[in-house]
Chain A
Amino acid sequence: MTDVLAGQKIQSATWPATVESLDNTSNANLTNTTFATGTPVVDLTFVAPTTGRVLLTVTAGSRDNTGTDRVVCTFELYLGTSAGGTLVIGSSGSTLQYECTCAGQADAYQYVSRTTLVDSLTSGATYYVRHMNKTASGSGSADCTLRALTVRPTP
């Protein structure tokens, strides 16, 4: 991770592309209480900028038909081009910093985002990120439709 130094000219190589992956397929009546990828998998690869920092946004549209459960969305980040790479940020521990969820009392689809500043990435390296979801109580009444990931290289 290298801050861009004062006076230094910024080269375009400092700024790889901002990328997004989005899918609007209904994933209904979810019962998993551990994070899984959803169908289809919403994922993308990106190149880390010189600064080693990206803004990673998780977006979801979710609801719970009975007003009791909820869909919790987060991401998994790997160094490499697939989930077979080295895990950088996982979903098995606390996801309070990363997760996006609507309260169980949202019984119609609600669309919101949650952004994480990920830093200490290796400049120029390729990373793989995928959208994950679970339910809070596995009751089978929670649905997730829109899932999106946006990665923006940032200073």
Chain B
Amino acid sequence: MSFSGTMYGSDWPSAVAAYDDTQLSNLSNTSYTAGNPEVGVYFTMPPSGRVLITVHGGARDNTNDNRCFMSAEVRENGVNGVVLLSPAVATNGFGTPGSNADYFYGSRTFLLLGGSVYGANAGIFDLTNAGSKQFYARVMYSVETTTSASVDINQRGIIVEPVS
């Protein structure tokens, strides 16, 4: 979606971010979970229908062989709303090597585009009246295997920035 003419502040909702460094220890969940505390933000979609999302953080594995996947999930309205972007590390997440026994820090940035469908169980990222809707993005995490319960997370962060 594009438009012409002078830009106004309403074209540019705020960039938002959340970050938490609570240590989550001995993780074994192979399904994505939000954890406690939850690291999430509400955001307003700009008229462009596009935002960049960055997932960042740090994790380690005490047995040197399990990866930690941190990925963004986006819902309409809030934590119980329709899922619009399902967490999936390959397309919207950041992952650790697995072979790291100590904390590894990095990030991954990707584009979220309105009108698309992200994930098998997600709804269409509908831009109808998007400016009046609230969207909610949070960091979800999962680990590679349940057998050793050895993954620790010490940082989780998310940044949502409106772009043109």
Contact = CB atoms under 8 A, between A and B. Distances in A.
Interface of A: 9-20, 22, 24, 49, 57, 59, 61, 67, 102-103, 105-113, 115, 145-146, 148, 150, 152-153
Given A59-B108, A111-B95, 13 more contacts: A12-B164, A13-B4, A15-B48, A18-B52, A24-B91, A105-B97, A107-B99, A112-B95, A113-B94, A113-B108, A146-B91, A148-B110, A150-B109
Contact of A12 (B7, B69, B110): B7
9 contacts: A12-B7, A16-B2, A61-B95, A107-B97, A109-B67, A111-B90, A112-B94, A113-B107, A146-B91
B96 interface: yes
B81 interface: no
Given A57-B109, A112-B108, A15 B164 contact: yes
A13 to B, nearest CB: 7
Contacts of A152: 52, 111, 163
Nearest to B1: A17
Contact of A108 (B2, B111, B144, B164): B144
Interface of B: 2-7, 11, 48, 50, 52, 67, 69, 89-91, 93-99, 106-111, 113, 144, 163-164
Contacts of A113: 94, 107-110
Contacts of B99: 67, 105-108
Contact of A111 (B5, B89, B111, B163): B89
B113 A110 contact: no
Of the listed residues A11, A15, A18, A49, the one surrounded by the most CB atoms of chain B closer than 10 A to its CB is A18
Contacts of B67: 108-110
Contact of B90 (A9, A18, A146): A146
A150 B52 CA distance: 9
B144 A18 contact: no
Given A17-B2, A18-B48, A112 B107 contact: yes
Contacts of A146: 90-91
Contacts of A148: 110
A114 B95 CA distance: 14
